[in-house]
A and B are shown apart, each in its own frame.
Chain A
Amino acid sequence: MILNEYKYELGTIERGYNNRSLYINLSDNTIKEKEVTQFMKDKFIGGKGFGLWYLWNAVTPETKWNDPENEIVIAHGPIAGITQYPGSGKSLVVTLSPLTHMPMDSNVGGYFGPYLKFSGFDALELQGKAEKDVIIFIDGNRGIVQIMESDVEEKDSHLLSEILTDRFAKNEEDKKNVSVVSTGSAADNTLIGLLNFSFYDIRRKAVRLKQAGRGGIGTVFRDKKIKALVVRFEGTKGNLNNPADQGKINKAGIKLHREICLLDDKQNRMRKIGTANIIEIMDQYDLLPTHNYKFGSHKDTYKISSDKFQARVTQGLPDGCWYGCSLSCAKAADDFIPETGPYKGQKVIVDGPEYENAAALGSNIGVFDRDAVLELNFYCDTYGIDTISFGTLTAFIMECYENGILDKEKTGGLELYFGNKEAALELIHQMARGEGFGKIAGLGIRRMKKIFIEEYGADADFLNDIGMEQKGLEYSEYLSKESLAQQGGYGLTNKGPQHDEAWLIFMDMVNNQIPTFEDKAEALHYFPMFRTWFGLMGLCKLPWNDIVPEDNKYTDEPAKIPEHVQNYVDLFNGITGKNIDKHELIRQSERVYNFQRIFNIRMGYGKRIHDRTPYRSMGPVTEEEYLSRQERYDNQLKELVGIDPEGMTTKEKIAALRKYREDQYEKLTDAVYQRRGWTMDGVPTIKKLKELDMDIPELIEVVEQHL
């Protein structure tokens, strides 16, 4: 049954913009177009910038994630949809997060974003709540948007996306023209729900999924009673963006294709194994989160190393999540047969394995079993759960279990010790069914800490030390203990501890390239700003530095990959006809980055106190941790702290090291805030906003209350 239908004029994209967006309110089934103004393009560029701006206008400081006025905004960006440069098909999803109560943004592949763009819209705003489950369909060739009641029984993404692709495609040949956004049954029952964006794999003849994973966006999606979004667009070509200078884009793209062709096998093997290439490397450098981030390596890591996964990736042909991505990190394990759950015994495709999944669902919860990792990965995806949050929160639960804070009685019989794959799988099935301990686990670490303290009498200090969340979001999968810069890379972020702003571990800990606070602060300014830019454009981060030109090492700043930065400048100028340089690129990001910070402040967060991190991210919490790396820590006490550890108890040594490290983090915070043009409380100054041409009255109004 169709609840509302809206017809719109088809248009053409001009220099990367449609100059209009699509607004849908599910409470009253409004469908309308909005103008994308020059102001929006100047200040917010596109993608996550547009998402944040629309959300800012939709909510008040009192809005909660499950209020009808909260929105989910999906936007791509001016460069998105080109087919010549690898990684150019990304969507940015923005919403108020149920985990952090602040704006969340997530960068996701799949064909939805480009097809939304080709259908005529620079963003899709979803507000309100439907009464019954709905499907929203955008027909980009006929100019029709429909809201229809859902008649689909299936609740999990791998089936939903397949059924809807079949239904909305005219025939097999047409399936590649359809993309579905959906989530799974666990998004109904947890706060860590994700969105799956589909693309049709014409070689496998199967629907594949990419995830907007972080921050519970899928939970908001289901709260609005959206079953799925479907877009259909036939006629993809390489020039639909009508760029100012197609030749400039072609040149940059072909140069990078060639680079990948010649160098990827020697560098990161992204085409062969994808991001999983670093599992054993992280282990070797003591950076692979193991047993809830206690340790950075494990003797059994070889059982989940990249070659074990490669053996299970059966296609042998590299595939990308948008046309023209020759880096092709997307991987899949075909004909996987789960041993548990509702799909037990059926042949399924597991999208992955990604590094993050191997660490979150493997080493961090002590499961050194490739097929168990794949099964958890499959169920996380199809149930609509963020693998990172699931892994990190399960690791937290397991440490609580081993410390007697939880027991079989409290978990309803689940023996959640490290390495118990059966219990981890049952936990995820409970999340999907909305039953038992799975319901508590699905609330995330922050809320679990509260429950364990208030109801089970757990030691608050201990839980706050070992619970690897900040701002309400679970940590992603790198051990930051030995890299102060990365502690800041996780802690001094807008949306929570996620390494998509900065990954500085090697620069800092191994290479020792940024020894002073000022050096680290410069890195924690430049890299977050540079990486924010991908989210404004609809781009992927990987082709920036997971492949580098052969002569990169001879450049003045190898870590920035100067040639690739120039490629991005060329892409933007080629599309828009503007003439920015690499400095203006950073300023574009700074505008949106500071805006997001102010948005956080407006929601009651975003200050220094919210940038503090759990001690587990900074150093050894327990004696077990200290003793496992005793020589290293003893040496640091001697050389860095200036204390002779001789004769001290382990407890005293832990305390002395902690005092030193916490102090270092505070000093780092000072330096970073200063570099970013913020007060020592983390508030962007009016001077900074003026410098950025972001002295917009409503922003000034927010910051003035905090200066």
Chain B
Amino acid sequence: MIIVNGKEFPWEEGMTVRRLLELKKYIYPRITVKINGQIVNEEEYDTKVINDGDNVQCIHLMAGG
């Protein structure tokens, strides 16, 4: 289990940031991803692996219409 935006979310072996965004259907183009408080750069989304128990934040930066 990991924490995504303050809520529990099932973890899977080898889960990358890209995979998590897909599972969460987070398609918004301006998302800042932090793992345990550390910002992950977009170039690392395919390679950065999320570990079981990590606290992940996917901050959508949008203040709307």
Contact = CB atoms under 8 A, between A and B. Distances in A.
Given A506-B60, A510-B26, 7 more contacts: A267-B29, A284-B27, A356-B65, A500-B65, A506-B62, A506-B63, A527-B63
15 contacts: A268-B29, A280-B27, A499-B64, A500-B65, A504-B63, A506-B62, A506-B64, A510-B5, A511-B60, A527-B63, A545-B61, A553-B39, A554-B39, A559-B61, A559-B63
B58 A355 contact: no
A512 B34 CA distance: 14
A266 B39 CA distance: 19
B1 interface: no
Contact of A503 (B26, B39, B57, B64): B64
Nearest to B61: A558
Interface string A180-197: 000000000000000000
Interface of A: 266-268, 275, 278, 280-281, 284-285, 355-356, 476-478, 499-500, 503-507, 510-513, 515, 527, 545, 548, 552-554, 558-559
A266 B29 contact: yes
8 cross-chain pairs, A with B, having the tightest CB-CB distances, nearest first:
A503-B64, A512-B6, A506-B60, A553-B32, A512-B5, A506-B62, A545-B63, A511-B59
B27 A512 contact: no
A478 B65 contact: yes
Main secondary structure of the interface of B (DSSP, over half): loop
Contact of B25 (A284, A478, A513): A284
A556 B7 CA distance: 23
A92 B46 CA distance: 47
Contacts of B7: 512
Contacts of B59: 511, 513, 553, 558
Contact of B60 (A280, A478, A510, A552): A510
A476 B62 CA distance: 17
A432 B12 CA distance: 58
B6 to A, nearest CB: 4
A78 B27 CA distance: 39
Nearest to B33: A553
Contacts of B27: 280-281, 284
Interface string B35-59: 0000100000000000000000111
Contacts of B63: 503-504, 506-507, 527, 545, 559
A464 B47 CA distance: 51
Nearest to A489: B64
Contacts of B25: 284-285
Nearest to A553: B32
Contact of A281 (B28, B32, B57): B28
**Which of B5, B60, B64: most chain A Cβ within 10 A?**
B64
A639 B56 CA distance: 21
Contact of B32 (A268, A478, A500, A558): A558
A544 to B, nearest CB: 8
B41 to A, nearest CB: 10
A512 B7 CA distance: 9
Contacts of A545: 61-63
A552 B61 contact: yes
Contacts of B32: 553, 558
